[in-house]
Amino acid sequence: MRYIVIGAVAGGMTAAMKIRRNDDKAQIVVYDKDTDISYSGCSLAYYISGVIKDRKSIVPRDVEYFKKFNVEVKTSHEVLKVDTKTKSVLVKDLSTGNMFEDRFDKLIIATGAQAFIPKIEGINLDGIFTLRNVKDADRIKGYIEKTSPKKTLIIGGGYIGLEMAEALSLLGMEVLIVEKQKNILPNLDDDMARLVENYLLQKGIQIRNDSSVLRFEGEGKVKEAVLSDKSKIPADFVLISVGVRPNTEFLKDSGIELLENGAIKVDEYMRTNIEDIFAAGDCAAVYFKLNGKTMYVPLGSTANKMGRIAGENATGGNLRFNGILATSIFKVFDLTIAQTGYTEKMARQDEIEYEIGHVTKPHISTAYPGAEKMTIKALAELSSRKIIGAQIVGTKGVDKRIDVLATAIYSGLTVDDLFQLDLAYAPPFSSAKDPIHYVGMVMS
């Protein structure tokens, strides 16, 4: 059996290794147009800031590593076309320019996504970057080292923009975030996003909401940006972080079904509409566990799961993906921001009748040094009393609470169950009544 995998990062390499574990005789070839493979995209901002010093620690595996498992990874090889009738792919070796066809019995598409670049006058000036892969991070690091920028502009106040705001600020630069929506972090509810905004302002990060860039100006290299209110902002470094688009252009005429945004449509088994062709990771859509609707939430956590499921099912398995809660977490300076399940905005769109619980409580016993408050906003469905969503902003202990709440939502627990949960307690770790218990109490 010959398996071809396109894309050698989270989704693709997880699938390839699962195939190998299930079938020791399988021929497995992975094509990737990049030369870095199996890297941690999630660590890129920390690599740029210097918090992670060693490039190797974010790109720990290479082609030789996978050879040990008899998985052939061909880097600098771009797949230009998939022919579903002849079950073959057209590949271009980017180092020689040679083109060739390769035949598969099963194909896994894991081509990920690329940063979206809006059409703005002057966007091609030097000093304007996007951040998606290790080469982008290298370019950003190199530019900063060479030109020592002072005033930086981040277009887009999502989590990548905020992680980079921290990185650039730690490197001694002034940072202004320009956000089109009325708040940064538009995936959060406005009240929670404002907590983050207030914190960032205290940290010296400037924010312009309800703003966009009309054009960039400069000779060869960016010097300033003209915003929608016509103000001119000096900027010698710009990061565009306004979302990503699935890498599926090459599939346009293949017959493989794509959604409107270009994401590959897969079922719960990662099967596309074409037999023997699977997809996993940021190139594909997923569905929201709580309403069954298709969603596009490109995350490494999900890409790994999808890759494993695609690998299992390509080798004859029957592993089902149970859907996502879009659980996510990130930090900016000392603040952690996390969410899972429905936000109020999403619940309104789905016309769900809900109740909200707000809790601001210390993460550990106040008797013990270092207790710090976090704010939890939880949503429960009125009719069933089930917890359906949570957002948390705080400096410590946010990770543990969001995972408890994600588990509660996944399991269909009610607000009454939250109070009953038998959670571990000792003063250095939590309080006798944990913030999670309080959520249950205020909503009961």
Chain residues binding ligand FAD by CB under 6 A are 6-12, 31-34, 41-42, 44-45, 78-79, 110-113, 131-132, 160, 247, 250, 281-282, 298-301, 303, 330
Of the candidates 42, 59, 123, 170, the residue annotated as catalytic is 42
- Our CA dihedral for 124, 129, 204, 150, rounded to 10 degrees, sits at -70
CB of 311 to ligand FAD, least distance (A): 13
Maximum Cα–Cα distance across the chain: 69
Of 325 and 359, nearer to ligand FAD (C-beta) is 325
Of 209 and 301, nearer to ligand FAD (C-beta) is 301
Alpha-carbon gap, residue 159 to 169, rounded angstroms = 15
Alpha-carbon gap, residue 338 to 374, rounded angstroms = 11
CB of 223 to ligand FAD, least distance (A): 26
Of 83 and 417, nearer to ligand FAD (C-beta) is 83
Residue nearest to ligand FAD (CB): 112
Closest CA to 288 of 319, 327, 261: 327
Extract long-range pairs of 412-419: CB within 8 Å, 24+ residues apart: 412/386, 413/386, 413/387, 414/380, 414/384, 414/385, 414/386, 414/387, 415/355, 415/357, 415/378, 415/380, 415/385, 415/387, 415/439, 415/440, 415/443, 415/444, 416/385, 416/440, 416/444, 418/387, 418/443, 419/444
CB of 163 to ligand FAD, least distance (A): 6
Of 114 and 365, nearer to ligand FAD (C-beta) is 114
Catalytic, 42? Answer yes
Buried/exposed 3-32: b ≥16 CB within 10 Å, e otherwise: bbbbbbbbbbbbbbbbbbeebeebebbbbb
Signed CA dihedral, 48, 50, 56, 58: sign only:
negative
Of 10 and 393, nearer to ligand FAD (C-beta) is 10
CB of 319 to ligand FAD, least distance (A): 18
H/E element holding 234?
A: strand 232-234
Pair 129, 143: CB distance under 8 Å: yes
CB of 217 to ligand FAD, least distance (A): 27
CB of 96 to ligand FAD, least distance (A): 15
Which residue intervals of 315-434 are DSSP H helices? 344-349, 398-411, 415-420
CB of 249 to ligand FAD, least distance (A): 8
- Owner of token pair 């080798």: 315
Of 13 and 415, nearer to ligand FAD (C-beta) is 13
The angle that helices 10-22 and 300-314 make with each other, rounded to 10 degrees, is: 30
Of 321 and 438, nearer to ligand FAD (C-beta) is 321
Active site residues: 42
